[in-house]
Structure 1
């Protein structure tokens, strides 16, 4: 049986800023488990203007004592695919682990959209699915563990995003001076 976690919340920031923060969310003090992020592909559909990005993320996690013999490593590679549609004000990001899948497969979908009632806010719908094919009577225990762990870590993820959003807001209050060429030398 697949376990599912769902949560909807808002950021008190406009969609354009939240989507920028999404790309800049690592590193932050709430995500020390994220070791690296690499862009694999980034394209823009010339007819729709949709930006498609594929990233590879390396994360380190804690393995419960009862599962330590099941996994070779506490690191996992995550594939993240996202589409940003500036016309509709929607970003959909799907992440899934590509390692450790036998023990637990986790797929997370985040949909960020302009808030329908307030353009200064962003609405986020988060859904995650957890599936284990391990068997041996451990399947439901692993899926339940993943669901509990994900619910706890999603709070830290929102704190990390809020941290990045505040840094972005601080820097946007004081725009950089316009670029000017250096004065010509008077030699």
Structure 2
């Protein structure tokens, strides 16, 4: 599949891996990292369409950070809202824990797992989360559907939109971007570019 990726699309995937590593942890590449990498390539069709739809890298990066760091234990706004629905105030719980155990008590890293037999253990899913793998597969399907013999940034964006349930889709929606409208914009830009 990767042999069909354009140089620009390969660079976006590399940039997404860098985004995932940017916080110093070894995390798999998520849909949010693919989205941020798409926006970073300002000359790409995907980036231009995202910006025209009202998405900005700084805003989306802040939204991603809120979801991955909120509450100190990885709880985002959606998690807090779901807990609130069943009568649990996440902010109050976090405040109590920090009062009892100190500031950022929930942010402390878990101890490194013990290694067995001298082998190094990696994240079992490889460098990509299951959702981001699905996005890359869907980008191939989108290219085939459009009868393109390559996979470019626009196909990765269409894959993100088609997957529709990852953190990338959530932060785009929170930023006021209509996912169906964004899909139409990408397809219109592709017709114009052809």
Fold conserved between structures, TM > 0.5: no
More helix per residue: 1 or 2?
Answer: 2
Q: TM-score, normalised by structure 1?
A: 0.26
> Taking CA–CA contacts closer than 8 Å with sequence separation of 6 or more, which of the two structures ends up with the larger relative contact order?
2
The structure with more radius of gyration: 1
